[in-house]
Amino acid sequence: MTRPTHSRRQVLGTLAAMGLGVLTAARADTASQPPSDWPQASPVPGGVARLALGPATNRPQAWAGDAPLLVVGDSAGWTALVGIPLSAALGDAQIEVETGGSRRTMPYRIGPKAYAEQRLTVAPRAVDLSPENLARHERERIHQQAVIARFTEPVPPDLRMLAPVDGRRSSSFGLRRVFNGQARQPHSGMDIAAATGTPVRTPLAARVADTGDYFFNGQTVWLDHGGGLLSMLCHLSRINVRVGDVLAAGQNLGAVGATGRVTGPHLHWSVLLNQTAVDPALFIHA
């Protein structure tokens, strides 16, 4: 008895019946070459891990803890882009992946990254909040958590971002700040030096998710790029957009300022992925 042999045409026909197109079969050869618009892979605290999920007809769902992950690619090979918290422990970590109704755990490793530390001695009043300001900040923190938890579709078709203003970019993401001997939250974004009034661009096509004037962040615009990818632009002197506006990459949204708790005009830009602040520099590579 002879085994049936399959012609290429038959194999492709079978793949098509499985929902995997001929195009998919042809593109599998290039699966090792990730699209150049993806964020740089940097599996460290404050970085982005790119985890290959393999081929599947439909986009798999994936989670880090309870937070849904941005999954990009196509049926020839999907990739989860995982934002890693600055506070993450080094070593073994995992995500959950659901493909075609079956769920699995996918391990990965978080490597070390040394961020700079800044020790400052400041007047006690600059560190300790009044009860009123503490209450205000707590309300704003809860409001902000709801914005951060957004996960909308479609996922962004392109992930490379524009720097929102021209100017000297500090490499301050992840900076560990110690005020009067007390450790504060590490710096969760990129600061770009620019004069008050400098126009601020939309770094990547987005819908405006939130605007407001907040205690620490001052006049702020939150952008929802889709798929749990968000940008936050702070300390603005002027906001030119409203919640719900759909903005193209490069479109003006406001102007640099010094609102909120800052010592001088600059733009603070945070990028969040799966509810986690990651280094914006990973998204503006050439």
Interatomic CA distance for residues 111 and 133, integer angstroms: 38
Interatomic CA distance for residues 60 and 98, integer angstroms: 6
8 A C-beta contact, residue 237 and residue 213: no
> Which residue lies nearer to Zn ion by CB, 99 or 172?
172
CB of 141 to Zn ion, least distance (A): 17
Which residues does 62 contact at the CB level (< 8 Å), separation at least 6? 51, 53, 68, 69, 71, 80, 95, 96, 97, 98, 106
The H-or-E segment that residue 142 falls in is helix 131-148
How many residues make contact with Zn ion (CB under 5 A)? Answer: 2
> Which residue lies nearer to Zn ion by CB, 28 or 178?
178
Per-residue mark of binding to Zn ion, 10-49 (x: CB under 5 A): ----------------------------------------
CB of 98 to Zn ion, least distance (A): 36
> Which residue lies nearer to Zn ion by CB, 191 or 224?
191
Q: Which two tokens stand for residue 243?
A: 């919640």
Taking CB under 5 A as the binding criterion, the range among 74-82, 174-182, 222-230, 263-271 that sits at the site for Zn ion is: 263-271
Measure the CA angle with vertex 223, ends 118 and 144; round to 5°.
Answer: 65
Told to check if 268 binds Zn ion by CB under 5 A, we report yes
Told to check if 50 binds Zn ion by CB under 5 A, we report no
**How many Å is the maximal CA-CA distance in the chain?**
89
Residues in 84-123 that interact with Zn ion by CB under 5 A: none
b/e burial code for range 62-95 (CB count within 10 A of at least 16 → b): bbbeebebbbbbbbbbbbbbbbbbbebeeeebeb
Residues in 176-195 that interact with Zn ion by CB under 5 A: 191
Which residue sits closest to Zn ion, CB atoms considered?
Answer: 268
> Which residue lies nearer to Zn ion by CB, 67 or 232?
232
> Which residue lies nearer to Zn ion by CB, 191 or 279?
191
Contact positions vs Zn ion (CB under 5 A)? 191, 268
